[in-house]
Structure 1
Amino acid sequence: MLFDTHTHLDAAQFDEDREETIARALAQGVTRMINVGFNRETIPTTIALAEKYEFIYAAVGWHPQDAITMKDGDLEWIAKLCAHPKVVAIGEIGLDYYWDTSPKDVQQDVFRQQIRLARSLQMPIVIHNRDAHEDVIRILREEKAHEVGGVMHSFSGSWETAKMCLDLGFHLSFGGPITFKNAKQPKEVLQQVPMDRLLLETDSPYLTPHPFRGKRNESGHVRLVAEMAAELKGVSLEEIADITTKNALDRFGIK
């Protein structure tokens, strides 16, 4: 049993073969997935997917790249959706200093608002962090995010950053990059992460693992991520699958 904790199956890249993509994931032993809606367009399509498929859950939030588009009422909309039985987290939220699409101060304000919402609703959060490690950690601390915890999605930081995230009660999620031949740091970090705080993901259609790098990613490829994680941890594929699935069920409160 594998759990893809972060995917975007509602993306346009799957419009021609979404059903087949989901069937391939099931055939690879992926029994659960969390689809992530991150703006005005993808939140409704994420909810629709979760309602259609029993094994797909939803996370909803406002992505830092889209922070500048957040309007009055959007936070209330997210809050209402959090009452949906298939919504298991607020995300992906955070900071992205790589793409210059939203000013840093706007990103930080939207990030803080959503952490506060999560605390008020006692919902875990899914963090997007690109080239913003210091500010992400600082804001998580200042906003007392440890009260809800969550997931550091597609973790790419150092072991020092990882330790700070673990201290804040977060799980670390790894995807395709751990299979890249030149990905020394992610592999070293994964080896040190406690087994009970480890999650797997694809972030499909992005971050495709080796040997399919350069092609569209899909949830079934989480098996390749699991195989590499098992190799790095020195355990069997079955053990890594069982442990990371249990971790995900616990983290997201899925029965």
Structure 2
Amino acid sequence: MTMIDTHSHLFLEEFADDLPEVMERARQAGVSHIFMPNIDSTTLQPMLDVCRRYEGYCFPMIGLHPTSVRAEDYEDELAVVARELASGRKYVAIGEIGMDLYWDQTFQKEQEDALRRQLDWALDYDLPVVIHCREAFAPIYKIMEDYRSTHLCGVFHSFTGTADEAQRILEFPGFYLGVNGVVTFKKSHLPELLSSVPLDRILLETDSPYLTPVPYRGRRNESAYVQYVLLKVAEACRCTPDEVAKQTSESALKVFGMLK
């Protein structure tokens, strides 16, 4: 049984002391691919270094995270994304992008502008997008409506929204819901919600080092723990773990352009 971790930040300093061991545990757990979303210009080189070190196992994305969008320098940050896209370097997606109004709404307009421009680039370069959405579903969905007739595709990373929001995302045929350790939390509503979501519209992720699943909640997350997400999704969807592993892996390879 093999699984794909579609969202993991193993290039962050939390893994500086034991990255080889983290990677080996992921392999032993059956993780066949790890997709790595960028955050901003400060994380670009560390991410590329890890993907180069583990070429063929770790795959980079390029994008500007919404919490890194600030009025004074977001244009410069977007210029880095544009430069990388034009460089010919192989990126599997534009991400992680989106909007985050949980901590601060000061730069909402700038976040909306950054999102639109990166969605346009996704179409230009025929790449999927990985969308970060925190307390921002309404403005993100309003923007996405303008792309309904395009071939835009991707994943709503770390989906924790309502059943209605899930159905509205799934109206876009090329979009998937990214499910991570939150699904294992005691008070999570996701197991009930996922029971009505087609299995072929779900992707597995960890968001390492964050959102560690039960039974390791409270510790640093890592890609090997995607197995606990898989087991909970299998329970919620009334499928076998093998079925979930097979379908979510096939969907991940499809959306990230590896089945073309």
TM-score range, shorter chain: over 0.9
Q: Which residue of 2 aligns with 1:62?
A: 64
CA RMSD of aligned residues (A): 1.5
* Matching residue of 2:234: 230
1:26 to 1:164, Cα distance in 2 relative to 1, 3 A? same
1:160-179 to structure 2, matched below 5 A, reads 160-169=164-173, 170-179=175-184
Aligned to 1:136: 140
Distance 1:215 1:146, change over 3 A: farther
Q: Check whether the contact 2:62–2:81 (CA below 8 A) recurs between aligned residues.
A: no
User: Equivalents in 2 of 1:194, 1:78: separation in Å?
Assistant: 35
Decide whether the 8 Å contact of 2:4 with 2:249 is kept in 1.
Answer: yes
* Residue 102 (structure 2) aligns with: 98
TM-score in terms of structure 1 length: 0.94
Q: Are 2:195 and 2:238, in contact at CA under 8 Å, matched by a contact in 1?
A: no
Contact 1:145–1:168 (8 Å) recurs in 2: no
Question: Which runs of 5 or more residues in structure 2 are unaligned?
Answer: none
Q: Secondary structure at the match of 2:37?
A: strand
Partners of 1:112 and 1:139 within 8 A in 2: yes
State the 1:102 CA deviation. 5.4
Q: Percent identity?
A: 36
Tell me: CA distance 1:90–1:145, structure 2 relative to 1, closer, same or farther (3 Å). farther
* Aligned residue among 126, 129, 150 for 1:122: 126
Deviations 1:115-163, CA, capped at 9 Å, x for gaps: 1111111111000000011111111112448522100001011111111
Letter in 2 for 1:201: E
- Tell me, which stretches of 5 or more residues in structure 1 are unaligned? none
Alignment length (residue pairs): 252
How far residue 176 of structure 1 moved from its aligned partner, in angstroms, is 0.2
**How far 1:78 moved relative to its partner?**
3.5
Asked if structure 2 preserves the Cα contact closer than 8 Å seen for 1:67 and 1:102, the reply is no
Equivalent residue number for residue 47 of structure 2: 46
More displaced, 47-56 or 227-236? 47-56
Q: CA deviation at 1:204?
A: 0.4
Q: After superposition, what is the alpha-carbon deviation per residue over 1:149-191, rounded to whole angstroms, capped at 9, x for unaligned?
A: 100001011111111111123111100000011102x222221
